[in-house]
Structure 1
Amino acid sequence: MSAVVAYLDVAATTRVDPRVAEVVLHWMTEDFGNAGSRTHEYGARAKKAVQQARSFLADTVNAKTEEMIFTSGATESNNIALLGLAPYGEKTSRKHIITSAIEHKAVIEPLLHLQETRGFEVDFLQPGSSGRISVEAILERLRPDTLAVSLMHVNNETGVIQPVAELAEKLRTTPTYLHVDAAQGYGKVPGDLTAPIDLISISGHKIGAPKGIGALVTRRRGWDKVPLEPIMFGGGQERKLRPGTLPVPLIMGFYEATKIFHESRENWEREARAMRERILEALGKTRFRLNGDQTHTVPHILNVTFDQLNAEALIVRLKDQVAIATGSACTSASYTPSHVLKAMGLPDDVAANGLRFSWFPPQTRDFDPLPIAETIAHMQPQEN
C-alpha cells in the first residue's frame, strides 16, 4: 500500500504505537516468563508486572484491581458477560434482557443465541434517527424478570455516545445488571465508565495497543459479585472466569498504550475536533448528510452519506487517497445496508451508503481532506 494513503479507519483498529511495540518486544524476548510460574524469578517478574498493569487499568474506570480480568478483547468480554450471566438468570427465572438494535454483532449474536436456544426474551430497542437510546425507553421496559441491560458506550459506526452513566445510576437500585460494550469509548470518554456499571467490556487495539488483548470489568455491588459463570474451562486463571496462560507481552502493551493515551488525551481530543472541523469544511463542496446525533458524539468519528453516490464505488475510487469503511470491520465482507443505520429508521439508500471516517491524532495531523472532497464532488451528478 502506498505511504500517501491516509488511514481514516481507526474505529476498526489503530496502529500500534512504536513505544508500545518496544514494550511488547521486551516482554516477548527478555522478561518472557509465565505469570503463573511460581518457582523462579522469570515468573515472579511477569506476575508482578501483570498486577501493576491490572491495577492501573482498573483505576482508569474506578474499579478495584480484583474486579478486572484480562481477555482477548471486547468480543470475548461481551460473551463472558452475557453468556456467563445466563445461568443465574435461568436459576432465578429472570430471562428477560434489554438491549438496542444498534449494538455490535459481538453483543447481538450472543443474545440471539440465548433467545433461540435457551428461551431468553430479548428486547432490541430502536433508537430513532438520532442513533441514541434514551434512558426512559429502557426504564419503561424493565420488568421483575429483567436480568440485564446491555448498551454500548459509543456506537462503532456513527460515534454516537449512549447515556450509560445515567443509566448505571438508575439501575444500581434495581436487581437488573448493566453491561456496557466500551470498545469504542474506553479512554476517549473516560468519565462515563467510572459510573457504577456492573460489567464493562474493553478492547486495547482501539487506543494503540496490540490486537488480541482486552479486559472485562466485573464490578461488585457492595460485597456481592456479579454472578458470572465461566464459558471456558481449563486452568482457573483470571478468577476462574477466563482460563489460559496470560499473554504478558500483550497485557504490558495494553498497559503502556493506555498510559500514553491517558497522558495525551486532552491533546488528542483537541486535535480530533480540529480534524473534524477541517473535514466538515472540506465536505462543504459536496452534497452530504451526517448520520446520528451530532450533539452526543465522539470527536473522531463521522458517518456520512453522499447524495446519489454508492459507498462501495466511492471507497474503490478513493482507495489510493484514503482508507475508510462503510461500518464495522467485523461485517465488512457484507454489502447489505448497515444494521445500525437501518435501526435508526433511515431510508435504504442512506443506510446502504453510509461511510465512516475515523481518525487518531497525531497520526493524521498532516491529512488534507480537500482533495478527497473534490473527488467526491466531481463524482456527484450535477443538480438540475
Structure 2
Amino acid sequence: MVTYLDAAATTRVDQRVADVVLHWMTTEYGNAGSRHEYGARAKRGVERAREYLADTVGAEPDELIFTSGATESNNIALLGLAPYAERTGRRHIITSAIEHKAVLEPLQHLADRGFEVDFLKPGPSGRITVEAVMERLRPDTLLVSLMHVNNETGVIQPVADLARELFSTSTYLHVDAAQGYGKVPGDLTAPIDMISISGHKIGAPKGVGALVTRRREELDDERPPLEPIMFGGGQERKLRPGTLPVPLIMGLAEATRIFETEHAQWEAAARDLRSRFLAGLASTRFHVNGDQDHVVPHIINLSFEDVDAEAFLAGLNGLVAVATGSACTSASYTPSHVLRGMGLPDEAASNGLRFSWIPAQTADLDIDELARGVVKLRRHS
C-alpha cells in the first residue's frame, strides 16, 4: 500500500468530523437563512461554530466570515482592499516571493491595475525578517501580506512579531494561515488584521474555510475597509454571498476542536516521525531546505544530491505519495518558486521533495522501512 505523506496538500477527513458533517447533511439539513425551525437550528449551529472558531484566534464572532477556503479568503482580503486603496492613493503592498499562488496571483492582478508590490526574498533560511518588512514600510503602504507557514518548506514566518510592530501604524497585515492554523495556534492570537483559514489541512472537508477581519482601536475600532468581490446576497456581512454550507462549517469546527484538544499528542508524534525519518536517511546525501530552528514538525523539504526530482518522484510512486511543491502548481514540473525565492539555484530548486504528514493518519506507517526504501531508490537512481 502506498503511504500518504502529502498532508500539506490535503488531509483525510477525520471520521469524527465526517460523522458531524453527515448529521448536518441528513438530519439537521435546514438552510441557515430560512425563517422556520429547521433554518433556526442550522443558524444556531453556524453561530456556535463561528463563536468557537473566532475564539481560537482571539477574535470576536462578528469578525469571522465563512468562505470556501484560504484561496477565496485571500482574494477577498487582497482584492477587497483595492477600492479603498484607490480612493486614498495608498497603493503600496509588501509581500514575499515565497507566498502561495493564492496570494501571488491576486497581487499580480493588483500590480496590473497600477499597484506597487514589493516581493521580499528571504534567502536560504526561507524566513522573512520583521526588519526586512519594516525597512520597506512607507506612508503609502496599504498592506503587508505574509504567510504563516510556508507550504513547501514548513518554515514559520514571524507573523506575531510583525503584527505587534505594525499595530501602531496604519498599514494592515494579512496572513495566509492555511498551513499554520491549528498547528501553531499561539501566533494567530496576535493583533493580525486579516487571517485566511482553510479546513482541509486539519482533517475537515474540502471547500470550507474562514476569513478573520479584526477591529483595531487605533484605527477608530474599524475593521479593514473591505468591499465585496462577489454579489448576490447579504450573507457574511455581504462579503461572501451565497447559501452557507452548514455541514462543512460544522465539520470545520469539529476538526478544529479535535486538533486543539489533541495538539500536544500531534506535535510530539509529528516530531518523532520527523526525527526517525531523517535518521533513516543518514546514509544518503541530501539537504534539508529552510531554517530548521523555525519550522513546523510535520513538513520537511529535502533535496537529494545528483538526483532528478521528477524521476525520483516517479520511482517513489509505488512506495509513498509526496510532492515536488505546492499541489496547485506541482503539475507544471517547473523549479519551485519558493526554493528559487530562497536563492537556491535552478538545479536545487528543481530537486526539492516535500514530505508532510498527520501522525494520526499514518498509524500503519513503518517510517524506518520507508526511509530504507528511499535510500535504496536513491542509490539506484
Shorter chain as denominator, the TM-score bin is over 0.9
Q: Does 1:148 align with 2:143?
A: yes
1:181 is matched by which residue type in structure 2? D
Quote the offset at 1:370 in angstroms.
3.0
Quote the offset at 1:380 in angstroms.
3.9
Q: Does 1:100 align with 2:90?
A: no
Q: Aligned residue for 2:205?
A: 210
Q: Aligned residue for 2:236?
A: 238
Tell me which of 19, 27, 31 is aligned to 1:30. Answer: 27
Identity %: 72
Q: Structure 2: any 5+ residue segments left out of the alignment?
A: none
Q: Aligned residue for 1:281?
A: 279
Quote the offset at 1:311 in angstroms.
1.2
Q: Distance in 2 between matches of 1:374 and 1:61?
A: 41
Tell me which of 122, 143, 152 is aligned to 1:127. Answer: 122
Q: Distance in 2 between matches of 1:245 and 1:378?
A: 52
CA contact (8 A) 1:95 1:146 kept: yes
CA deviations 1:294-346 (Å, max 9, x no partner) are: 00000000000111111111121111211100110000111000000001011
1:306 is matched by which residue type in structure 2? F
Q: Distance in 2 between matches of 1:194 and 1:370?
A: 37
CA deviations 1:200-257 (Å, max 9, x no partner) are: 0000000000000000000000221210000001111000110000000000010111
The DSSP-based 3-state class of the residue aligned with 2:174 is strand
Q: Distance in 2 between matches of 1:181 and 1:6?
A: 28
CA contact (8 A) 1:309 1:379 kept: no
Q: Distance in 1 between matches of 2:245 and 2:169?
A: 37
CA contact (8 A) 2:128 2:157 kept: yes
CA contact (8 A) 2:74 2:103 kept: yes
Q: Distance in 2 between matches of 1:74 and 1:281?
A: 34
Query: Given the two structures, how large is their TM-score scaled by the length of structure 1?
Result: 0.97
Q: Aligned residue for 1:57?
A: 53
Aligned pairs for 1:305-320 (under 5 A) are 305-320=303-318
Q: Aligned residue for 1:110?
A: 106
1:97 is matched by which residue type in structure 2? I
Structure 1 range deviating more: 196-205 or 218-227? 218-227
Q: Does 1:170 align with 2:165?
A: yes
Query: Given the two structures, how large is their TM-score scaled by the length of structure 2?
Result: 0.97
Q: Distance in 1 between matches of 2:17 and 2:132?
A: 42
Aligned residues: 377
Q: Aligned residue for 2:79?
A: 83
Tell me which of 7, 10, 16 is aligned to 2:7. Answer: 10
The DSSP-based 3-state class of the residue aligned with 2:152 is coil
CA contact (8 A) 1:78 1:107 kept: yes
Q: Structure 1: any 5+ residue segments left out of the alignment?
A: none
Q: Does 1:352 align with 2:350?
A: yes
The DSSP-based 3-state class of the residue aligned with 2:95 is strand
Structure 1 range deviating more: 181-190 or 304-313? 304-313
CA deviations 1:113-140 (Å, max 9, x no partner) are: 0001x10000000000000000000000
Q: Distance in 1 between matches of 2:296 and 2:142?
A: 30
